[in-house]
Amino acid sequence: MEKSIITKELISEHGLSEEEYQRILEILGREPTITELGIFSVMWSEHASYKNSIALLKTLPREGIGLLTKTGEENAGVVDIGDNLAVAFKIESHNHPSALEPYQGAATGVGGIMRDIFTMGARPIASLNSLRFGNLDTPEVRHLLKNVVRGIADYGNCLGVPTVAGEIYFEHSYTTNPLINVMTVGILEHQDLTTAGAYGPGNYVLVVGSATGRDGIHGATFASEELTEKSEKKRTSVQVGDPFTEKLLLEATLEIIKHDLIVGIQDMGAAGLTCCTSEMSAKANTGMDIDVSLVPQRETGMTPYEIMLSESQERMLVVVKPENLQKVEKIFTKWDLHSVKIGEVTNDKILRVRNNGKIVAEIPTESLVAGFGAPVYHRQKEKPKYLNRLNSFDITSIHKPDNYNQILVDLLKSPNIASKNYVYHQYDYMVQINSIVAPGSDSAVCRIKNSNKAIAMTVDCNGPYCYLNPYEGAKGAVAEACRNIICAGAKPLAITNCLNFGNPYNKEVYWAFAEVIRGISDACREFGTPVTGGNVSFYNESPGGAVYPTPVIGMIGILEDLNFATTQYFQHADDIIVLLGEHCNEIGASEYLKLRIGEPIANAPKVDLIYEKKVQNVCYQAIRQGIVSSAHDCSEGGLAVALAESCFNRECLFGAKIDLHLIYRPDFELFGEQHSRIILSINKKNLPQLMKIAHKEDVNIIEIGKVTFDKKFRINNFIDIDVENLFDNWYNQIAKLME
Amino acid sequence: MRFNIIVFPGSNCDYDTYFVLKNVFHCKVDFIWHKQDKLKNADCVILPGGFSYGDYLRPGAIASFSPIMQELKKFAQRGGLVLGICNGFQMLLEMGLLPGSLMLNNTLSFICRNVYIKVINMHTPFTNTIAEKNVLKIPIAHKEGNYFIDEEKLKELQKNNQIVFQYCDKQGNTTEYTNPNGSVNNIAGIINKNGNVLGMMPHPERASEMILGSDDGKFIFQSIIASTFANHHKI
């Protein structure tokens, strides 16, 4: 073994607590070598071990019909969609790397989540992203946005996976700590479902893909601490992506899976070789004996420590039966990729690492892995003091506006509401020719070739809601995701989540985290959409404080018949416009209130989950009965913005003439963001049929106006403005701010 | 009618093109791996879109040295039909089968969206069934699609009727405003002098089914099939 030289400083530099180091001594019965210290350090980092979140994560609803994987145990969640097909999907964050190096940080975020999908045996068919930045009036934020988008575009476009949907919000809280969450969805046939287990002692362990360099060493540890001025020096913790190699890896991997040549496979993401070897063997109740000197290296003089901890991109660990070695090598050679045997699966449950035969680490695999022997902590919680001040804000103290036209224009120009075409036109959203509903509508819809089915996808979260009320905000995120899926004509299936928070050792942050878990749980139970997996990202803080609690929900839904795919855009002049749901008597946490006051304030809108589900049922049934021309969920900006967006059909702009019988204050009715509201446009003759469905579900339905050809947007005597004017303001605002 | 689609490492519109030719046009289609040196009874060879070799060096530059490309050159010299789409267009320029070059878009970014293109030359094997409709709605998706050629050679292109497609608006007006990427003369696609090698930036395979928002791209594949049929008939 290597001679140990462990000092107190070294332990603390590795982010390990005194208590954790004592545990290492107990597990090993001796001092660790430097390589072992590195291995424990990354595996017990927050990023890899989920040590501060796993106890709560286990309370999320994880059971459901058609789940083909157990939550958190594989690279991604997999859901059966019938006809021997299944969907693999997952969301992940790449926040810290992107804060320092936005282009590479975002690009490698895409690369990582793609590998999680194709290692399941699924071909990625779509990618989504959920991004948070500070306000666009600072050049630093514009730099971040521009390069994050370029990074996502260059990587995803080259790979040939369409980026079909997403969301972007701009709030002061994210100024120095942007959030970059990326989701990928893949399709597989059941027999190709692949595991991440190193089964079968005696089987060979292969490293495939790119050569290993010194990039990204300690990336996982880096992601598990707050960003400070010193973080700039950790720029080398950010990996560099090569989408071309990833494309080859994608094709080669799917080819070996198709030929049934592998036992197990895992992406080398955070914590690289260390994470793969320990997780794959712990999962299979086996061990591994590897020699790092065999790993292809692109730099000279790399130590075992560096090879084990490197996060070089586009690499995977593959376990194969000895008799299949040659066939696997032949396929990787065809794609000009390395595939090198570095060791074997053993039955002693020990991760044994050698360097030229000499043992440099020997650790019981289980002791390293989340869900097995890695530490589990329960942190203290405390309701934040800021909430009382913010929640008790009296919304009626706001004067009624004088000029509703101007408010509507200002809301449409708010970067949170304005069209994101500046972004999505940089993404290839059409490659693979499945995108039947393009970016911009409530959900993206991709057909599944050679079938009549399609998949609807969305990512949703309103950070300010979660800041002002984490429980209701989290419920709202799930409810809105569901509503978006329903509005596309699909049935919600399951979710993946990416939980972005500050430092879990801060009691207030942890309280919000626990509230969010409770909110997601309640909502997912009600909607029957289990949590299939996801990612927790803590330490999203900078000297200015923590980001808003931001639990991003990625949801997929199924259309059994793709002909029912529906968009938010009005289709025919003279269709009537109908509001499903109730009048709105609140403006808490709304964009409108932010416009008036300058910050997110008051309380987030509450979700009545039972009513929400009924509203969604009505919408779904109406679409399935073929009587709906368009369906759009009311969210940021409220009813008025939702109506305006429905007019923005790119093929042909429409107008709307709305006569709304007001019960409450007009600005509350028009701009409040109450949940459980959907706007439908339908042919007048179908109104009785729609009413029948609504009455059966006991859902309120209000005929509020009609679609017009004249390109005028009118609401009672409050708003009267040209749609082209609204459209131009909405469509071009972000590009203007980026100039 | 048999199409060959050449697959390079990094091609990503190969399957899309294959799917359309198989499922919409019911043609025989073969993938040809770039390391092969023989085509397979091709009537038309398609160089698909994507990022061959990750666009390293220059888009299409490394692919133009693949073993199959020698065979492709001979095929083109014999008068065989060759269609280069997007990255395939870039390869045809790198190989010298078409004149000019494609530079970074003047927006400096990747652009993916539907555009309209005007069919300038309807007397090519790729456009001869378009007659009644000379404006097509077809998407573009590229970062390097800004076509450049010097003035002298541009005149030559015009004289020989080699400009096949120009970016335009819905009504067919070709203006600076309808030019998405800065291409000289709004050029979206050109053909060689012999009239058998076409390169175009827009993706007809993405606009061959109404469910995707347009099926104007079908005209191009239809034309190829019709002219091949006519040609066989002659023989």
For residue A307, the surrounding DSSP H or E stretch is helix A304-309
A566 touches chain B (CB under 8 A): no
* Beta pairing, strands A531-537 & A491-500: parallel
Any domain includes A492: no
Whether residue A209 sits in one domain with residue A241: yes
**Domain count within chain A:** 2
Structure tokens at A639: 């009813």
- Which pLDDT does position A372 carry in this prediction? 85
Any domain includes A596: yes
Whether residue A625 sits in one domain with residue A589: yes
For residue B30, the surrounding DSSP H or E stretch is strand B28-33
What phi and psi, each to the nearest 5 degrees, are found at residue B159?
-60, -40
B56 touches chain A (CB under 8 A): yes
Chain B residue numbers with beta carbons less than 8 Å from the beta carbon of A158 are 10, 12, 51, 54-55
Contact B211 A436 (CB under 8 A): yes
Any domain includes A330: yes
Any domain includes A39: no
- Cα–Cα separations (whole angstroms), residue A320 to A127, A207, A331, A344, B153: 29, 11, 13, 9, 57
Question: For A587-629, what is each residue's pLDDT tens digit?
Answer: 999 999 999 999 999 999 999 999 999 999 999 999 999 999 9
Of A47, A218, A583, A632, the catalytic one is A47
Long-range residue pairs from A142-149, CB within 8 A, at least 24 positions apart, any chain: A142/A737, A142/A738, A143/A102, A144/A98, A144/A99, A144/A102, A144/A178, A145/A738, A146/A102, A146/A738, A147/A102, A147/A103, A147/A106, A148/A98, A148/A102, A148/A103, A148/A105, A148/A106, A148/A178, A148/A180, A149/A106, A149/A423, A149/A426
Whether residue A269 sits in one domain with residue A397: no
CB A136 within 8 A of CB A170: yes
B217 touches chain A (CB under 8 A): no
Chain A residue numbers with beta carbons less than 8 Å from the beta carbon of B15 are 432
Distance CA A74, CA A77 (A): 7
- CA neighbor of A37 nearest in space, from A75, A66, A3: A3
Sign, CA dihedral A462-A465-A466-A470, equals: negative
Interacting residues of B106 by C-beta distance below 8 A, sequence separation 6+: B146, B181, B182
B213 touches chain A (CB under 8 A): yes
Reduced 3-state DSSP string for A612-627 = HHHHHHHHHHHHHCCC
Interacting residues of B27 by C-beta distance below 8 A, sequence separation 6+: B1, B2, B3, B21, B225
Residues of chain B above pLDDT 90, percent:
92
**Residue A562 DSSP label:** G
For A152, name the nearest residue in chain B, comparing CA atoms only: B110
Contact A447 B211 (CB under 8 A): yes
ipTM value: 0.96
- Which pLDDT does position A233 carry in this prediction? 56
B205 touches chain A (CB under 8 A): yes
Distance CA A206, CA A7 (A): 34
Q: What is the DSSP secondary-structure string of A621-678? A: HHHHTT--SEEEE--TTHHHHHHHHHH--TTS--EEEE----SS-HHHHHH---SS-E
- Which pLDDT does position A227 carry in this prediction? 64
In Å, how far is A155's CA from the nearest CA of chain B? Answer: 10
- Which pLDDT does position B74 carry in this prediction? 97
- Cα–Cα separations (whole angstroms), residue A525 to A478, A491, A699: 10, 15, 21
- Collapsed DSSP state (helix, strand, coil) of residue B6: strand
- Cα–Cα separations (whole angstroms), residue A709 to A44, A577, A684: 62, 14, 16
Chain B residue numbers with beta carbons less than 8 Å from the beta carbon of A159 are 12
- Which pLDDT does position A633 carry in this prediction? 96
For A563, name the nearest residue in chain B, comparing CA atoms only: B211
Residue B204: is its pLDDT beyond 60? yes
Whether residue A397 sits in one domain with residue A309: no
Whether residue A397 sits in one domain with residue A308: no
Whether residue A283 sits in one domain with residue A397: no
- Which pLDDT does position A73 carry in this prediction? 78
Chain B residue numbers with beta carbons less than 8 Å from the beta carbon of A245 are 54
Gyration radius of chain A's alpha carbons: 26
What phi and psi, each to the nearest 5 degrees, are found at residue B58?
-150, 150
Any domain includes A561: no
- Closest partner CB to B109 (pick from A243, A248, A426): A426
Q: How many CB pairs under 8 A join A and B?
A: 81
A677 is in which domain, residue-wise?
Answer: 393-401+566-739
Contact B51 A429 (CB under 8 A): no
Whether residue A348 sits in one domain with residue A233: yes
For A424, name the nearest residue in chain B, comparing CA atoms only: B112
- Closest partner CB to A426 (pick from B13, B56, B110): B110
For residue B220, the surrounding DSSP H or E stretch is helix B218-234
Q: CATH number for the domain including A572? A: 3.90.650.10
Degrees, nearest 5: CA angle B45-B49-B50: 135
Distance CA A586, CA A605 (A): 8
β-bridge mates for residue B112, sequence order: B141
> What angle separates helix A723-738 from helix A638-647, to the nearest 10 degrees?
100
- Collapsed DSSP state (helix, strand, coil) of residue A453: coil
Question: For A50-109, what is each residue's pLDDT tens digit?
Answer: 999 999 999 999 988 889 988 777 889 999 999 999 999 999 999 999 999 999 999 999
Amino acid code (one letter) for A237: S
- CA neighbor of A596 nearest in space, from A606, A587, A583: A587
In Å, how far is A423's CA from the nearest CA of chain B? Answer: 10
End-to-end CA distance of chain A: 59
- Which residues 304-343 on chain A approach chain B with CB closer than 8 angstroms? 335-336
Whether residue A397 sits in one domain with residue A296: no
- CA neighbor of A361 nearest in space, from A38, A47, A41, A44: A38
| More confident: B202 or B232 | B202
Any domain includes A170: no
- CA neighbor of A629 nearest in space, from A698, A693, A577: A577
- CA neighbor of A131 nearest in space, from A157, A86, A163, A88: A163
Q: What is the DSSP secondary-structure string of A380-406? A: -----THHHHHHT--GGGSPPPS-HHH
- Closest partner CB to B112 (pick from A244, A429, A562): A429
Chain A residue numbers with beta carbons less than 8 Å from the beta carbon of B20 are 433
Chain A residue numbers with beta carbons less than 8 Å from the beta carbon of B211 are 436, 447, 562
Chain B residue numbers with beta carbons less than 8 Å from the beta carbon of A562 are 211
Gyration radius of chain B's alpha carbons: 16
Sign, CA dihedral A679-A683-A688-A692, equals: negative
- Which residues 357-386 on chain A approach chain B with CB closer than 8 angstroms? none
Distance CA A598, CA A583 (A): 25
Render the burial of A89-103: b for 16+ CB within 10 Å, e for the rest.
Answer: bbbbbbbbbbbbbbb
- Closest partner CB to B205 (pick from A159, A433, A436): A433
- CA neighbor of A710 nearest in space, from A658, A651, A653: A653
CB A161 within 8 A of CB A184: yes
Distance CA A215, CA A313 (A): 9
In Å, how far is A253's CA from the nearest CA of chain B? Answer: 14
Any domain includes A189: no
Strands (E), A190-285: 204-209, 264-267
Which of A123, A150, A433 is the best mutation test for B, with the most CBs of B within 10 A?
A: A433
- Which pLDDT does position A269 carry in this prediction? 82
- Which pLDDT does position A201 carry in this prediction? 97
Q: Which residue do the tokens 């969920």 mark?
A: A633
Whether residue A573 sits in one domain with residue A719: yes
B50 touches chain A (CB under 8 A): yes
In Å, how far is A732's CA from the nearest CA of chain B? Answer: 15
Contact A159 B12 (CB under 8 A): yes
Sign, CA dihedral B85-B91-B97-B102, equals: positive
A427 touches chain B (CB under 8 A): yes
* Beta pairing, strands A338-346 & A204-209: antiparallel
Contact B12 A248 (CB under 8 A): no
Whether residue A397 sits in one domain with residue A319: no
- Which residues 118-137 on chain A approach chain B with CB closer than 8 angstroms? none
Which of B15, B35, B211, B216 is the best mutation test for A, with the most CBs of A within 10 A?
A: B211
Structure tokens at A211: 């050569």
Render the burial of A676-689: b for 16+ CB within 10 Å, e for the rest.
Answer: bbbbbbbbeebeeb
* Spans of chain A, pLDDT less than 50: 235
Chain A residue numbers with beta carbons less than 8 Å from the beta carbon of B111 are 425-426
Contact A433 B206 (CB under 8 A): yes
Contact B9 A247 (CB under 8 A): yes
Any domain includes A560: no
For residue B136, the surrounding DSSP H or E stretch is strand B135-142
A430 touches chain B (CB under 8 A): yes
In Å, how far is B194's CA from the nearest CA of chain A? Answer: 31
- Which pLDDT does position B130 carry in this prediction? 85
Positions of B marked catalytic? 86, 203, 205
End-to-end CA distance of chain B: 14
- CA neighbor of A557 nearest in space, from A483, A490, A647: A490
Degrees, nearest 5: CA angle A461-A465-A468: 145
Amino acid code (one letter) for A504: P
- Which pLDDT does position A560 carry in this prediction? 96
Whether residue A693 sits in one domain with residue A608: yes
β-bridge mates for residue A129, sequence order: A166, A182
Question: For B146-175, what is each residue's pLDDT tens digit?
Answer: 999 999 999 999 999 999 999 999 999 999
Contact B112 A425 (CB under 8 A): yes
CB-based burial label for A378 (10 Å; 0-12, 13-18, 19+):
exposed
Q: Map out the domains of chain B with their CATH numbers.
A: 2-234 (3.40.50.880)
Distance CA A364, CA A349 (A): 6
Amino acid code (one letter) for A448: I
Whether residue A285 sits in one domain with residue A224: yes
Q: Does A47 participate in catalysis according to the annotation?
A: yes
Residue count (chain B): 235
The CB density around residue A126, as the number of other CB atoms within 10 Å, is 26
Chain A residue numbers with beta carbons less than 8 Å from the beta carbon of B169 are none
